[in-house]
Amino acid sequence: MLAKQRPTVSIRYALPFLFALLILITAVTISLLAFSSGQIVVKNLVTQLSDEITSRIEQRVLTYVNTPHDILEANAAAFSAGEIDVNDLDKLANLFWHQIEGHDQLAFISYGDEEGNFVGVEHVRDGYILRIRDVSNAPLREEYRLDSNGVRQELLNSREYDPRERGWYQTAVSNGDSTWSNVYQVASRPILAISPVQPVVSPDGEHAGVIAGVLTLSQISDFLRGLTIGETGEAFIMERNGNIIASSVDESPFITDENGDQERLLAVESSNDVIEDSAQEIAARFNASERPIINAQFQYTDTENGIHYVHANTLNDGRGLDWIVVVTIPAADFTGPITDRIVHTIQIAILAVVISIGIGVATARWIIRPILAISEAAASVENDQFEIAGLATVEKRQDEMGRLARVFKRMVEEVKKREEKLKQQVRKLKIEIDQAKSNQRVKEIVESDFFKVLEANSTNMRHRRQQRRAEKEKNGHLS
């Protein structure tokens, strides 16, 4: 059984195809390598950038939150040393007014003691407010407006108040050291705040009271919004329970429920998709409510925006502050130039493929033309025509094709001579064979019985003719 013949492709088509395929494979390989190396570069770049941004945020926030504690600790130290008379509430009010005036981040400084006395100065939008409770007005706490020099002006209102029943006071007493209150909403404004609290010890070493402040957190959001985080990256800070502290997007840290009351905004409910998705990924990957997140770096893929790189780290100031700083940067912010470069490479590759096809066609024709001439000459030899005039141009070439044409021409001439000689020999041999056949046929006839009878009859007839001729001649002489 004959083997099945494999299909073949003409060189005039195969050669351009091979040129184009080679260039296409090279372009695709270069593009893939560029894309792969670009992804690595982007990942390293984003990692470094997120580390740097996270460090800047942590340094700024720690500086921001340490300042009020430094003030409170300095006051507490002065109280303990007897440098400040805690019983002179008017002097305390003046001290607090000067301290608030010099520090924008402090919205309120107050002091409450074990006897229920209280004094505090608050920075409001249109000036300063003094709140005071002493033996003269207890159990009421009176509020006064302060002028530009911190001097008490008109009475605004009064209401019952006992600092010892307040959470900030009890937190400081139970902790025994400087710490923080929970994050809460400022009553007069829709912003978040947190209170640094510091226990105060009297000169004789006994607990005397608590000094506290109010630190607004809106400035942290202002700082985050001023950061350049790639092109569309975002940063936010949240508590372990997921409540937003500050973010780089312009949204309120509160949401209004069905009853019209304001509640804390969860990061997973943010109106910003990047913050929402990042918070969901953190919630799915880590149990932040039970253990801190230490320099966690991961990536997730958004079907709409692609890969996002996330860096999350716990921010702890050693006084109970326990927040999570998150920086999220979409890879698309940096892969755009790489993608453009790859597209440019593909465009060049397409152009190169088109050019290579043209070159391949021209090269194929250049190669095929002498091959076709030799092929036609071979076909003519096969048909016993020996038409090799088409080799005249090819045999003049000095390359391999010219050499092949010259060799083939000599071979054709030799074959033609041998063919003619062979034909002559065949004709001669045919004549000899015909002659031999004739001789054999004659011999067969001669040796046949019929021929012998004919020969005998012929001999007899000759004898009789000779006898009659002889008798005629004899009779003629007699007459």
Distance CA 331, CA 300 (A): 10
Tell me the mean pLDDT in the region 144-154.
89
Stronger pLDDT, 390 or 313, i.e. the higher one? 313
Percent of the chain scored above 70 by pLDDT? 87
Distance CA 193, CA 245 (A): 9
Distance CA 236, CA 242 (A): 11
Distance CA 171, CA 112 (A): 13
pLDDT of residue 103: 77
pLDDT of residue 187: 67
Average pLDDT, the chain: 82
Angle between helices 400-446 and 332-382 (to 10 degrees): 30
Burial 442-479 (b: 16+ CB within 10 A, else e): eeeeeeeeeeeeeeeeeeeeeeeeeeeeeeeeeeeeee
pLDDT of residue 1: 44
* Pairing assessment for the beta strands 127-133 and 118-124 based on DSSP bridges: antiparallel
Residue pLDDT, tens place only, 44-91: 888 888 899 999 999 999 999 988 888 899 988 888 888 888 888 888
* Distance from the first to the final alpha carbon of the chain: 97
What is the four-CA torsion angle of 248, 250, 252, 256, rounded to 10 degrees?
A: -130
Distance CA 440, CA 352 (A): 80
pLDDT of residue 460: 78
Tell me the mean pLDDT in the region 134-162.
90
Tell me the mean pLDDT in the region 127-154.
90
297, 311 Cβ separation under 8 angstroms: yes
Most confident range (mean pLDDT) of 12-16, 204-208, 218-222, 299-303 is 218-222
pLDDT of 305 above 80: no
What band does 388 get if pLDDT is binned at 50, 70 and 90?
low
pLDDT of residue 338: 66
Stronger pLDDT, 135 or 418, i.e. the higher one? 135
Burial 314-352 (b: 16+ CB within 10 A, else e): bbebebbbebbbbbbbbbbbbbeebeeebeebeeebeeb
pLDDT of 420 above 50: yes
Residue pLDDT, tens place only, 168-185: 899 999 988 899 988 888
For 412, the token pair is 């054709």
Q: Is 283 left (phi over 0), alpha (psi -120 to 50) or beta?
A: alpha
Q: Which domains does the chain have, with CATH numbers?
A: 66-216 (3.30.450.20), 218-330 (3.30.450.20)
Tell me the mean pLDDT in the region 425-436.
79
Distance CA 229, CA 66 (A): 25
Query: 283: exposed, middle or buried (C-beta count within 10 Å: 0-12, 13-18, 19+)?
Result: middle
Tell me the mean pLDDT in the region 280-287.
88
**pTM, rounded to two decimals:** 0.67
Residue pLDDT, tens place only, 80-119: 888 888 888 888 999 999 888 877 778 889 999 999 999 9
Q: Which backbone phi and psi does 198 adopt, to 5 degrees? A: -140, 120
pLDDT of residue 234: 92
Residue pLDDT, tens place only, 5-41: 566 666 667 767 776 777 777 777 777 776 677 667 7
Tell me the mean pLDDT in the region 406-428.
76
pLDDT of residue 188: 62
